[in-house]
Structure 1
Amino acid sequence: MSDLTSHPVGEGAPDIRDMQVADLNKALRAGAKDFRRKPAFGLFFAAVYVIGGWCIYLLLFRAHLEWLAIPLTFGFPLIGPFLAVGLYDVSRRLEAGDEDWKASDIFAVVWRQRLRQLPTMAWVVIVYFLFWSFFAHMLFALFLGPSALTNVTTSYAYLLEPEGLTMLLVGAAFGAVFAFVLFALTVVSLPLLLDREVDFVTAMITSVAVIRQNPKVMLVWAFMIAALTFLAMLPGLLGLMLVLPVLGHASWHIYRLATVSGTGIAQ
């Protein structure tokens, strides 16, 4: 059996294959199956995400910056794909028929990524998230004025006024564009960087190429991710304990289904 704990299994960007909408159901079923087979890993990585979200919201309320909770609620899921790297590795091992490993093996692989291209991609995602937060702040001030930034901490009535509703609609539209651009850059690039020796620019180009070759399928996949994530965040982020692991595992299978060199369910 090959050693999946040391080096990626291939070099260079893989070729892209045509996908069908039915492939999304395959990926979700495979993701749910991976989660059932190794639930501890999914629950752990999801807990990191959920607890991190609670901490951010707690800090905002303690700093009387409650208004920032709205853009962060829409923007926080942008960093989810990077946190799912450990789930990609679990699915990679299960797909290869390798179940003789420990939790430390997964963390060792994630730790070793610091010497490769994933940290650079992490910075891309983080900077993108910060830019979205700045942009949301600018929209808030543009539509509601500087005084609202102070008064909204004690009253959310501003959001029910025409200016507030317009701001929410415009913000949601821009947020959707921001999210889709990042989705296009990361939907394949993150699992690709884990799986193969490629630079992060090549990985992002490959990811965008997948979108261009399969626009309908990937638009549906983006909508499914957004809808499931939004619904999972409603009960105090607790729904993410289930949704995030399944989507994380499924994202690995989407990568495999999108590439000619993919194995497992892609065959």
Structure 2
Amino acid sequence: MTSSTEGATPPDNLAPQQPSMPEVNKITAADISDSLRAGFSDFLARPVMSGFFGLFYAVFGLLFVWTLVWLGKIWMIIPAAVGFPLVAPFAAAGLYEMSRRLQTGESFGWFEILTVMAHQRKREMGWMAFVTLFIFWVWTYQIRLWLAIILQNASFSDFEGFLNIVFFTPEGWIFLAIGTCVGAFLSAVLFTVTVVAMPMLMDRETDFVTAMLTSVQVVRENPVVMLSWAAIISVTMLLSLVPAFLGLIFTLPILGHTTWHLYQRAVVPVES
């Protein structure tokens, strides 16, 4: 006789329901141009607030370079300046939230945006920051390694001397060639795993692994378009560093806002 307290026996093959991966779209060059226009429009809508994030990033860059000079790490200036844009996606978190609120018509001020940014430490964004900073650390470490191997007998007493050795000696050319190849590879890896992962973590409740896998899927489905976007970001950011990082006051916010709109075109939104 079956006890009345016994329930139905669950099937043996019952497995926990796994969260489904977000769907990604095919995008074109027109999506990049439309996203750029939308990003520029967001910048013009709140130029002071947007420019603040660019200014903060620029000031941090100047202080970073000054610290290297003060510590006598002259050889680190160029690698740091070139690798500095690697952490830009994380620095643009506040810009993603601004674009989201402008798009939905929500009112906001400094308090709302900074509160959302502070709240990210309790979510998955912190893990993405770790991934970003880890790759930046790998970048700086490999530069130091190649300096020791290739330019081991060189003396860097000042920045001008470092430039002369790197740009006007055969050893310096080898160092530049290897450093460029390794840097391009690391930049490609970081771009692939973060290009839509950062705005995605700001937009929806998901884990950072899913966000990174979605980002990889977007790049895999749209290699030419995303490669073009990577090239636009790289060239723009590097040119912005030339006038003492000041170009970042304008370019970083515009690129950040644009990234949000491109993410929305590349990843299918959550059904409400």
- Residue 103 of structure 2 corresponds to which residue in structure 1? 95
- Residues 1:241 and 1:154: Cα distance change in structure 2 (over 3 Å): closer
Q: Give the SS at the match of 2:161.
A: coil
CA contact 1:141–1:148 (8 Å) conserved in 2: no
Larger Rg, first or second structure (1 or 2): 2
CA positional deviation for 1:172: 1.1
- Residue 132 of structure 1 corresponds to which residue in structure 2? 139
- Residue 107 of structure 1 corresponds to which residue in structure 2? 114
- Residues 1:153 and 1:247: Cα distance change in structure 2 (over 3 Å): closer
Structure 2 residue runs of 5 or longer lacking an equivalent are 1-18
- Residue 23 of structure 2 corresponds to which residue in structure 1? 15
TM-score (norm 1): 0.90
AA at the equivalent of 1:109: V
Residue 89 (structure 2) aligned to one of 76, 81, 85: 81
2:154 paired with 1:143? no
- Residue 5 of structure 1 corresponds to which residue in structure 2? none
- Residue 80 of structure 2 corresponds to which residue in structure 1? 72
Deviations 1:35-60 (A, max 9, x none): 00011221111111101101111011
TM-score (norm 2): 0.88
Residue 161 (structure 2) aligned to one of 152, 155, 160: 155
> What does 1:111-126 align with in structure 2 at a 5 Å threshold?
111-126=118-133
Identity %, equivalent residues: 39
> Aligned-pair RMSD on alpha carbons?
1.6
- Residue 256 of structure 1 corresponds to which residue in structure 2? 264
Residue 40 (structure 1) aligned to one of 48, 51, 55: 48
CA positional deviation for 1:196: 0.8
CA contact 1:28–1:250 (8 Å) conserved in 2: yes
CA positional deviation for 1:260: 2.2
CA contact 1:16–1:210 (8 Å) conserved in 2: yes
CA contact 1:256–1:262 (8 Å) conserved in 2: no
CA distance in 1, matches of 2:109, 2:203: 19
CA positional deviation for 1:23: 0.7
Deviations 1:165-196 (A, max 9, x none): 12112211211111111000100000000111
CA contact 1:67–1:149 (8 Å) conserved in 2: no
- Residue 29 of structure 1 corresponds to which residue in structure 2? 37
AA at the equivalent of 1:19: I
AA at the equivalent of 2:165: Y
CA positional deviation for 1:153: 5.4
CA contact 2:74–2:156 (8 Å) conserved in 1: no
CA positional deviation for 1:151: 4.6
CA distance in 2, matches of 1:167, 1:227: 21
How many pairs align? Answer: 251
AA at the equivalent of 1:95: Q
